[in-house]
Amino acid sequence: MHRQSVEDECSEPYPSLSECGAEIGRCISGKGEAIIFQIGGADVGYTLFQREPEGIFLRHFFVCREHRRKGIGRTAMLWLIAKAWQTPARIRLAVHVENAAGHAFWRAIGFSDWLIDMKLERT
């Protein structure tokens, strides 16, 4: 699932499966937490996040491609806010600039633009 998430985020070059596993390990070691979303015992998505003094930093939020556009992501996010996180003061996340579907999803949930993270790549 994480590999598919990386591909969807337009993050190239795509990492190997072992690199994906290492990334998840880094996310959940220490302060990180993971929750897997299931329907009928089948994994349909996941989230990786960290609790911070000012709220939640959502590192990854993913729904498998074949389960998208069915309300699963919205339902999962609303459950996280109400039950797992108990409505923290702030939830922050990053969305790749080219991920138009991601921007639309988060805005539909109620998120708004807050920060633009920029980079310069030197060759």
What is the pLDDT confidence band of residue 118, given thresholds at 50, 70 and 90? Answer: confident
**How far is C-alpha 69 from the chain's CA centre?**
16
The pLDDT tens digits for 44-68 are 999 999 988 889 999 889 999 899 8
Query: Could you give the maximum distance between any two Cα atoms of the chain, in Å?
Result: 48
Q: E-strand spans in the chain?
A: 32-39, 42-52, 55-63, 91-93
Percentage of the chain exceeding pLDDT 70: 74
Beta-carbon count within 10 A of 10 CB: 12
Retrieve residue 83's tokens: 């039950």
What domains does the chain contain, in order, with CATH numbers?
Answer: 2-109 (3.40.630.30)
